[in-house]
Amino acid sequence: MKLRIFVTLKPGVLDPQGKAIHKALDNLGFAGVNDVRQGKLIELDVADQTDDAQIDAMCRQLLANTVIENYRVERA
Amino acid sequence: MKTAVIVFPGSNCDRDIAVALERVTGAKPDMVWHGDSALPDGVGLVAVPGGFSYGDYLRSGAIAARSPIMRAVVEAADNGLPVLGICNGFQVLTEAGLLPGALMRNEGLNFVCRPASLTVENAQSAFTSRYTAGETITIPVAHHDGNYFADADTLDRLEGEGRVAFRYAGAVNGSARGIAGVLNAGGNVLGMMPHPERRIEAAHGGDDGRRLFEGLLETVGA
């Protein structure tokens, strides 16, 4: 089973990298970009019997730092 | 006092902290590999050094915090053993759950490498007893991810409980409330981004960092 884990900064957590990307887009002349937030995509290939609780545990214990990040799991 | 330094792949301040500990305690620390599962017997202080453990993959300190030796460090810290995390070591201790908050990319995105003025906020801890509260000291910083973040309730609690050990005297990295170093609830774990081990003798430009190790020697073991 293939999983895609999206890890994103929580709303309100400052994202200096997103800000720098935003500025670069502005410099390239792309008008109308309101905001940029940078996150991570982690792709996992796991055994088919892996249950939601195990996937959730992987995210909480390692893949995301829940102090600053949220995560979302997508099954491919 | 017997001390131990944890060494991860990518640590690069392990030798600096080893020299500082040997100069102050008179004994070479035990260098403990991340794959070990136990600390040496009779250790009075564990230092988690600076560097770029695991190349900062995933998040700074994230992989190191899940290494076998860190289970032993967390257990020892929970039992009151003094643990000092410097720079990447601070990131490792937050990732391991020994300290609250997280260290994010510097606000200005630049790697900051220079002497920094710090205000000593708590001079009562085992780590800071040789300082005076309110004193300004100079300790070098060298980091990319030193921007301390915690939610407002956590920051209020840290301040209320006197757990902010050091604060930057000027803008450095965008840290919440200028926090440079924090203590755990028991006061036996300190994480700080500045490098006291790089400021222990006149040839380093000053010795403000030396007093941290001298204070530890005095308070936690002879």
pLDDT(B109) > 90: no
What is the distance between the alpha carbons of residues A28 and B154, in angstroms, rounded to a whole number? Answer: 40
Q: What is the pLDDT of residues B38-73, one digit of tens each?
A: 999 999 999 999 999 999 999 999 999 999 999 999
Separation of alpha carbons B4 and B111, rounded Å = 28
CB contact under 8 A, A61 and B66: yes
Helix or strand or coil: residue B48?
Answer: strand
Tokens 């050094």 identify what position?
B49
Structure tokens belonging to residue B136: 């300004």
pLDDT above 80 for B221: no
Domain residue spans in chain B? 3-220
For the residues B128-136, what does the mean pLDDT come to?
97
Catalytic annotation, residues of B: 87, 195, 197
Whether domain B3-220 has CATH 3.40.50.880: the reply is yes
- Residues from chain A that touch B60, judged by Cβ atoms under 8 A, are none
- Segment B101-119 shows an average pLDDT of 95
Domain assignment of residue A59, given as a range:
2-75
Q: pLDDT value at position A76? A: 79
CB pair distance less than 8 Å for A16 and B102: no
Nearest to A62 among B66, B105, B149 (CB): B66
Which residues 151-190 of B are in CB contact (within 8 Å) with A?
174
DSSP state of B206: B
The pLDDT-based confidence of B35 (bands split at 50, 70, 90) is very high
**Which ipTM value was assigned to this complex?**
0.85
Distances (CA, A) of B191 to A52, B41, B66: 34, 23, 17
Q: What is the mean pLDDT of residues B5-15?
A: 97
Mean pLDDT of A25-54: 96
Report how far apart the first and last C-alpha atoms of chain A are (Å, whole number): 7
CATH code, domain carrying A40: 3.30.1280.10
**Coil vs helix vs strand at B212:** helix
User: How far is the C-alpha of A48 from the C-alpha of B124, rounded, in Å?
Assistant: 54
* B174-202 core/surface letters (b: 16 or more CB in 10 A; e: else): bbbebbbbbbbeebbbbbbbbbbbbbbee
Q: What percent of chain A lies above the pLDDT cut of 70? A: 100
Its pTM surpasses 0.80: yes
β-strands B189-192, B83-86: how paired? parallel
Query: pLDDT tens across B153-174, in order?
Result: 999 999 999 999 999 999 999 9
Our CA-based measurement puts residue A46 at a distance from the nearest CA of chain B, in whole angstroms, of 19
Confidence at residue A12, expressed as pLDDT on a 0 to 100 scale:
86
Looking at the 3D structure of chain A, how many domains does it have? 1
Q: Nearest-5° angle of CA B145, CA B148, CA B149?
A: 120
- pLDDT surpassing 70 at residue B222: no
Pairing of strands B164-168, B112-120: antiparallel
Is the pLDDT confidence value at B178 over 70?
yes
pLDDT at B127: 97
**DSSP classification of residue A76:** -
Token digits of residue A14: 């400052």
pLDDT value at residue B102: 97
Is the minimum CB–CB distance between B94 and chain A shorter than 8 Å? yes
Subunit contact B174:A14, Cβ cutoff 8 A: yes
B147 contacts chain A (CB < 8 A): yes
- Chain A residues whose CB is inside 8 A of the B94 CB are 67
Cβ-Cβ contacts under 8 Å, A17 against chain B: 105, 109
Whether B147 sits inside 8 A of A61 (CB atoms) is: no
pLDDT over threshold 90, residue B204:
yes
The predicted-structure confidence for A2-29, as pLDDT tens digits, reads as follows: 999 999 999 989 898 899 999 999 999 9
Closest chain B residue to A20, measured at CA: B109
Q: Among A17, A62, A67, whose Cβ lies nearest the Cβ of B105? A: A17
- Give A2's contacts (C-beta < 8 A, 6+ positions apart): A43, A44, A45, A46, A75, A76
